Amino acid sequence: MKQALRDALDDRGYDTLTPVQEAVLDPDLEGRDLLVSAQTGSGKTLGFGLAIAPTLLEELEAFAPAGIPLGLVIAPTRELALQVKRELAWLFAKAGAQLASCVGGMDMRDERRALARGAHIVVATPGRLRDHIMRGSIDLSGLRAVVLDEADEMLDLGFREDLEFILGEAPTTRQTLLFSATVPKSIAGLAKSYQRDAVRVVTKSEAAQHADISYRAMTVADRDAENAVINTLLYYQAPNSIVFGNTRAMVNRLTTRLSNRGLQVVSLSGELSQSERTHALQAMRDGRARICVATDVAARGIDLPNLDLVVHAELPSNHETLLHRSGRTGRAGRKGVSALIVTKKTRKKAERILSMAKLKADWSDAPTAEEVYAREEERMFAGEAWQVPAEGSEQETVDKLTATFTDAQLATAFLRLYRSARSTPEELSGIDAKPEPRPEFGPSVWFSITGGRDAGAEPRRILPMLLKIGSLEKDDIGAIRVRQDHSFVQVREASVPGLLAAIGADMMVEPGARLTRLDAPPTLGGDKARKPLPPAKSAAPVDWNDDPAPRKRKPKPQDRPKTPKSAPLQSKDKQPSEAADPAVLKARKPRTKPKGPPPPKGKPSSKKNRVRAQAAKGRGAGKPGGFAKPKRPKSGS
């Protein structure tokens, strides 16, 4: 390793290297093409920086003055590209490296000026780099090393054509490194086409993948999926969390719900501009927000500090996406949790994705409200504030509080203040929970009310009317049945005296509606006395005793008069036969195919069809029926 790089690592406090960094520094791999499969957050950025350093510097300890690029790093997203640039900047700072970036969303003129001044290493996204190549603002002829970071993500995002174009413009003698969390067939094919005898480097076995991440599959009822997301966030209270949804609509809905609960949340989706994305990520980094709701594409390549929790509000489409999502946490030896919200409908899909990813998850129910409260109580008692004595400016207020209030009052006030600053968890129903059957109403008395359908009576009008006038509760009213000219109401027997006392002796609940107590429950069968439907206005009364007039029918072919056959038509230079009937000849006029295109289908009166008909008559300027209007003759001609 070059001394300048070793000094940079010492200044950053690197005592030990990660497995991927150790693997690429193997002396036998120096200068070789590498296909490295390493999970996100394993230190691979620093790893490929150390791997290409001997190729870039060769025998020198520091870079010569900058000219055309010597090294190129391609990343799938703007955020990842800028993050890689920051990492390589401090790693090669003591070696005098000049770095430039070419990423979408930034000012292209500034990038061209930076490239014109010269750069040793360029970090770029595929689309913007191809633009610079086609415009001639970057020269790749001097490249010694090319790195494709998160190669599988770039192929997923549709950058294969751009990558093939870029690699085709680079010298064939270059060193090419492909870093990917997974190595599907598409990555293997890309490596075979654009690498020379590449060495496969696997830093961790597939079984031990994401060893620093604890996977939890939380089962929940279908209707409680979003409530489970809220409870999971409150249960873990991670410094930074990310919630994944599959669509923009889901991201917007979750962001709104979490924001309404008083949680500090930002969102990332494809509809945001670059400045909005930058502000959202900065809010996460400086602590103004603690939860980020994002789609898969929008979250690719982002690196958030202290990201300890990943919540899959919706299951990913495949196991590779699951690994990419979960790779946002558990970085650089830090422990993380990846929680999958699994409903009854998505249970088999979750099991299949976990099996394909060769991951084992702890299956359990989503955190309930009681579990969230218990976890908050543990954090409350474990707070450091209990162990810190009061300072001078605080002691006077503390003495006044202890002298004024009892211990129970102080504890109660503290608990209420503590909980008021936190969001309330959601009550979750069990997966197999069914609605409890309605209990028996018990002894009751039936009443009739004058006025039914004819008077516009409805249960939604009768119920509030009785509750207001009769001083009743909702549970005191049982069944309500509305008939054509009256209605029935069931009242709990214990509440009848209060109802009668509130209404009074006249038993009028409202003008025209009198309440009558029934001695026995009414027959609640179908309402047989239905109001007959009015006859149609155009229908005349029919006397079914009279025989109706016979209906006219069209004559059948055998009933029609036969027309005598006419004489055969003669050619134009001959006269028709004298036996031919002129009327028959006129009737048998030969059909001629109309000239021009067929008339357009549809209603001829519509504007669209009129335009089509006009276009069908003649296309082009000056034609009859064409779109172009004929020129007006000049005055005086």
Q: Are strands 486-492 and 477-482 parallel, antiparallel or unpaired?
A: antiparallel
Spatial neighbors of 113 by CB under 8 A, at least 6 apart, are none
- Could you tell me if 310 and 326 are in contact, meaning their C-beta atoms sit under 8 angstroms apart? yes
In the chain, pLDDT over 90 holds for what percent of residues?
27
What's the pLDDT score for residue 189? 84
pLDDT at site 12: 82
Relative to beta strand 444-450, strand 513-517 is antiparallel
pLDDT band at 620 (very low <50, low <70, confident <90, very high): very low
* Six token digits for residue 370: 């009681």
CB 214 within 8 A of CB 340: no
Least confident stretch, 12-21, 200-209, 587-596: 587-596
pLDDT for the residue numbered 333:
63
Q: What are the beta bridge partners of residue 337? A: 214, 309
- What are 444's strand-pairing partners? 492
Residue whose C-alpha is closest to residue 45's, from 66, 75, 68: 75
Written as six digits, the tokens of 73 are: 């790093």
Give residue for tokens 């503390």.
398
Q: Residue 624 pLDDT > 50, yes or no?
A: no
Residue-by-residue DSSP string for 463-490: HHHHHHHTT--GGGEEEEEE-SSEEEEE
**Maximum average pLDDT range among 73-77, 120-124, 583-587:** 120-124
Query: pLDDT tens for residues 259-283?
Result: 988 899 999 887 777 778 888 888 8
Which one, of 464, 470, 523, lies nearest residue 496 by Cα? 470
Mean pLDDT rounded to a whole number for the chain: 80
Beta carbons within 8 Å of 455's beta carbon, 6+ residues apart: 485, 512, 513
Quote the CA–CA distance of 615 and 606 in Å, as a whole number: 14
Domains of the chain: 3-204 (3.40.50.300), 209-374 (3.40.50.300), 444-517 (3.30.70.330)
The phi and psi torsions of 35 (rounded to 5 degrees) equal -120, 100
pLDDT at 206: 42
- Compare 167 and 324 and report the one with higher pLDDT: 167
The pLDDT assigned to 110 comes to 92
pLDDT computed for residue 117 by the predictor: 92
Is 164's pLDDT higher than 50? yes
pLDDT of 492 over the 70 cut: yes
User: Residue 39: which of 406, 367, 364, 358 has the closest Cα?
Assistant: 358
- Please report which confidence band the pLDDT of residue 358 belongs to, taking 50, 70 and 90 as the band edges: confident
Least confident of 476-480, 482-486, 538-542: 538-542
Task: List beta partners, residue 294.
Answer: 244, 268
b (16+ CB within 10 A) / e for 413-435: eeeeeeeeebbebbebeebeeee
Task: Express each pLDDT in 552-596 by its tens digit.
Answer: 555 555 555 555 555 554 444 444 444 445 554 455 555 555 555
Q: Are 305 and 241 in contact (CB under 8 A)?
A: no
Q: Give the C-alpha separation, 307 to 330, whole Å.
A: 8
Tokens of 466: 């009785």
Q: What is the pLDDT of residues 506-537, one digit of tens each?
A: 888 888 788 889 988 888 765 544 444 454 44
Distances (CA, A) of 78 to 84, 235, 370, 387, 436: 10, 33, 42, 45, 53
pLDDT at 28: 87
Mean pLDDT of 107-117: 92
CA 406 to mean position of chain CA atoms? 52
Nearest to 258 by CA among 222, 286, 231, 281: 231
DSSP, collapsed to helix, strand or coil, labels residue 192 as helix
pLDDT of 547 over the 90 cut: no
| Letter string b/e over residues 564-580, b meaning 16 or more CB atoms within 10 A of that residue's CB | eebeeeeeeeeeeeeeb
**CB of 472 closer than 8 Å to CB of 498:** yes
The bridge status of strand 508-510 relative to strand 513-517 is antiparallel
Compute how many other C-beta atoms are within 10 angstroms of the C-beta atom of residue 467: 14
* 65 has pLDDT over 80: yes
The more confidently predicted of residues 267 and 296 is: 267
